[in-house]
Amino acid sequence: MIEIPKVEREDAILIGLATREVSKDKVQEHLDELEMLADTAGANTVFKIMQDKSKPDSAFYIGKGKAEEVAELAELNNINLIIFDDDLNPTQVRNLEKLFNKKIIDRSGLILDIFASHARTREAKVQVELAQLQYTLPRLTRAWTHLSKQYGGIGTKGPGETQIETDRRIIRDRIAKLKDKLEKIEQQQKTKSSGRKDFLKASMVGYTNAGKSTLINFLTGAGVLAENKLFATLDSTTRSFEIEHDKKMLISDTVGFIRKLPHHLVASFKSTLNVVRDADLILHVIDTAHPSFEDHIDVVDATLKELGVDKKTQIKIFNKVDLITDKSKFDYVLNNYENSILISAEKGINIGKLKEMLLNIYEENFVEHNVEVKNYDSKIISQIHSMADVTDVKYNDDLVYLTFRADKLTANKINNLIKETK
């Protein structure tokens, strides 16, 4: 993985752009979130600057005049880090770096920095490195601007381009290897999940810092890190939860979603997010106390749609109700969002009702079935064992009576297999 050197906290200037498509209020809200991201990454925000333009400037993003003002502000205050709230293209980065002579990071670069520092497992580290390389590849030109500065003029262009192309080839080869590694990890996960037929599988999703880890800890005692920081959890965590005696489900926590999440980052974390694809149920946790909670819902729903799982059964869990003083918000939520519940994972409020909802879904989707098979049909008996959780086997003359637990789809497949043998 690309190493992010650990240094003391840096001072930073944050920059956002209001356009015809994005209002000043929205940009201010995005800058507030960017400040939280910067804090998580280890930067202190000194200035937040908003530029108002009809569209981004192709050369300097915020325009050359505004960029010169920022350069002067940074120089006067000895600030060496400038963070932009939107992704910059290679031309913009090159021009801004030349003008500022400071470190330039855009939103995607900042998120990747945080992911790199939070990756703990082999899988997460591979995923982060893949995303970093995919992010770096089109921006590689800026790493070689020192050639013209150092030598200048004739004789520098050819070797510079040759070195860049060499590095691009190395990066492409590394990307291919990392993708191969992730495919193998994905196959290992499929093998593991095949042994979980006797569980209802739920995946917990939500905007970052919505309280997913706190809730999974409350339900399962998982001991997942729960901090008031963006992306405190990066690795997927799966734990068993007994809803009622002998009625179990698996709950998987996932990395928090966020607005403007880079597409290649979603692609890199495909194997982690497969727990969402494999789930029978999605538990969408929402920070109800956040003023923009509805925007957060839209961001998560859009990401679920990108993953192709937006049609799955979903419970919207409105968390942190203990922080809400305006009780009319409760009525608004329940009236506008179907299959929803108001809770506090921190205080344990309404957790009993949440368990009731989970039990109802379990009983609707995961029930016991009884079948009889000829004792010489060993292939069918073996298939039933592989497809479902067999809880009881009885023998009577030439018949075998099997009791198994499975979801409706699997149960129908088993019943059809038995019919074909008759």
Q: Are residues 315 and 217 in the same domain?
A: yes
* Greatest mean pLDDT range, 135-149, 202-216, 345-359: 345-359
**CATH code of the domain containing 336:** 3.40.50.300
**pTM assigned to the model:** 0.74
How many CB atoms are located within 10 Å of the residue 325 CB? Answer: 6
Q: Are residues 239 and 312 in the same domain?
A: yes
Contact 50, 24 (CB under 8 A): yes
Q: Are residues 70 and 167 in the same domain?
A: no
Predicted confidence (pLDDT) at residue 3 exceeds the cutoff of 80: no
Q: Are residues 186 and 206 in the same domain?
A: no
Helix, coil or strand: residue 286: strand
Predicted confidence (pLDDT) at residue 160 exceeds the cutoff of 50: no
Q: Given this model, what pLDDT does residue 401 score?
A: 92
Q: Which domain holds residue 23?
A: 10-118
Helix, coil or strand: residue 362: helix
Q: Given this model, what pLDDT does residue 229 score?
A: 55
Mean pLDDT across 5-27: 87
In a domain, 1, yes or no: no
Q: Are residues 80 and 211 in the same domain?
A: no
In a domain, 371, yes or no: yes
Q: Are residues 101 and 58 in the same domain?
A: yes
Q: Are residues 296 and 393 in the same domain?
A: no
Contact 200, 362 (CB under 8 A): yes
Residue position matching structure tokens 């698996």: 250
Q: Are residues 78 and 15 in the same domain?
A: yes
Residue 74, by phi and psi: left (phi above 0), alpha (psi -120 to 50) or beta?
alpha
Report the DSSP pairing between strands 43-52 and 399-407: unpaired
Q: Which of 48-52, 292-296, 406-410 has the lowest mean pLDDT?
A: 406-410
Mean pLDDT across 203-226: 81
Q: Which of 93-107, 248-262, 349-363 has the lowest mean pLDDT?
A: 248-262
